[in-house]
Amino acid sequence: MVAVVVVTLGLAAYSTRLARTTGDFYVAARSVPPWWNASAISGEYLSAASFLGVAGLIMAGGADALWFPVGYAVGYVLLLALVAAPLRRSGAYTIPDFAEARLRSTSVRFTASVLVVLIGWLYVVPQLQGAGLALRALLGTPLWVGGVVVAATVLAVLAGGGMRSVTLVQGFQYWLKVVAISVPVLFLIAAWRADGSTSPLTADVPTFPEQTTVVFDTPVDLAVADPVTVTAEGELNGTPVNGPTTLAVGEATVAEGTRIDFPAGAAVPHTSSLTAASGGEWSTPLQIGSEHPLYRTYALMIALFFGTMGLPHVLVRFYTNPDGRAARRTALGVIGLVGLFYLFPVSYGVLGRLYTPELLMTGRTDAVVLLLPTALIDGSLGRLLTALLAAGAAGAFLATATGLTV
């Protein structure tokens, strides 16, 4: 992660020499070629939610969660058809400028300005939170450290070259993320095949592959489907424990700081916010979740399709293209690049059910991408793959945060 920050600052320093005018700073002189702008948009779009969250959603929600990456990618089809070229032809610098020019209303401009700030804030906070969670999972640092590192780096990138710096940095970070998430998958799948483990698609509810110790750093309500004898130290159901005890079928409240040792082969209790499912249920659409899963799926897809067109940090990047035709080619390239990236998080979610099932207890399934390599591969190779994934995660936080800020 340190290397990613250093390279990011180096690229920003290099691009500072190219930013000489206001147009350079805000729209990179409208001269970014489609292929690099597509890389930059993809790098900006693939945030912490994509790099870490999609795998966690698939691990917890199964086949139904596959609609998230589909919606994220297909949303650019609507953007290509309806938005990209008119936005670039407008000649505006910002989304509020474009709204005022099209509708000839200062009230619309004001409303657009408020929405841009609101959406940006709601989008940037998860990036800072994700950075904090990633550093805590890897290094045990306080939650605020990751957010401070990302914020300081973003300000340094923007201070020099503006959109020119951001374009160069985001394009680089897209390819960093693709390499970081794709290379470990090859090793993880090979290790899974060599291990001879059961397929997660046909297995029963997740079980602990070996004796596992789980430390709860926040209070958790567990749903216990099968009784299990464990060794616990801390507080269960409001009662102090220090030794062997039985988790009975039903709900169990685990206090912060409690440590529980589970035997190998024990069924994994799930946090009460998740539904325990067998491999068949987990891998079959419309089997887990609400009473109306089909309506929920339609609602999700509509929100994702149209939501992409409302992301101001994505829309503003089309101002950097030379003309409307280049903007359309950029949007088409983004569809391919984003689709390529989303091929890989699925594998992390699938393998996570087998090798890091304890995350279903704590509810921190977002950490599966970072924890899976060392859980599946011993020694320096596992640590090296984790470091590569951490670099990709850092790229996700930085690319999205810089785009939102500029």
- Determine phi and psi for 244, rounding to 5 degrees: -65, 140
How far lies 347's CA from each of 185, 187, 195, in Å? 7, 11, 16
Q: What is the pLDDT of residue 95?
A: 81
Local structure of 310: helix, strand or coil: coil
DSSP at 207: B
In a domain, 285, yes or no: no
Q: What is the pLDDT of residue 261?
A: 93
Q: What is the pLDDT of residue 136?
A: 76
Q: What value, to the nearest 5°, has the Cα angle with vertex 393 and ends 216 and 361? A: 20
Q: What is the pLDDT of residue 156?
A: 74
In a domain, 225, yes or no: yes
pLDDT, block means (10 residues), the chain with 406 residues: 69 62 62 86 86 89 86 85 77 78 86 88 81 75 79 74 77 92 94 79 76 88 87 90 88 90 88 72 71 82 85 81 84 92 93 89 88 91 92 81 73
**Residues 162 and 37 grouped into a single domain:** yes
**Residues 195 and 218 grouped into a single domain:** no
Structure tokens at 48: 């912490």
Domain total in the chain? 2
**Residues 41 and 129 grouped into a single domain:** yes
**Residues 77 and 196 grouped into a single domain:** yes
Of 267, 286, 304, which residue constitutes the final position of a domain? Answer: 267
In a domain, 275, yes or no: no
Radius of gyration of the chain (CA): 23
**Residues 161 and 50 grouped into a single domain:** yes
In a domain, 36, yes or no: yes
Q: What is the pLDDT of residue 124?
A: 81
The neighbour count for residue 347, using CB atoms within 10 Å, is 20
**Residues 181 and 105 grouped into a single domain:** yes
Q: What is the pLDDT of residue 295?
A: 85
The neighbour count for residue 3, using CB atoms within 10 Å, is 11
In a domain, 274, yes or no: no
Q: What is the pLDDT of residue 196?
A: 74
Dist CA 35 CA 56 (whole Å): 30
Dist CA 284 CA 187 (whole Å): 27
**Residues 95 and 195 grouped into a single domain:** yes
Of 267, 284, 304, which residue constitutes the final position of a domain? Answer: 267
**Residues 123 and 79 grouped into a single domain:** yes
CB 349 within 8 A of CB 66: no
Local structure of 208: helix, strand or coil: coil
**Residues 160 and 55 grouped into a single domain:** yes
Of 225, 250, 267, which residue constitutes the final position of a domain? Answer: 267
Structure tokens at 126: 């998860």
In a domain, 309, yes or no: no
Q: What is the pLDDT of residue 25?
A: 63
In a domain, 299, yes or no: no
Q: What is the pLDDT of residue 287?
A: 67
Q: Partners of 241 in the beta sheet?
A: 234
**Residues 35 and 145 grouped into a single domain:** yes
Q: What is the pLDDT of residue 8?
A: 67
**Residues 327 and 241 grouped into a single domain:** no
In a domain, 398, yes or no: yes
**Residues 217 and 187 grouped into a single domain:** no
- What is the span of the domain harbouring residue 234? 212-267
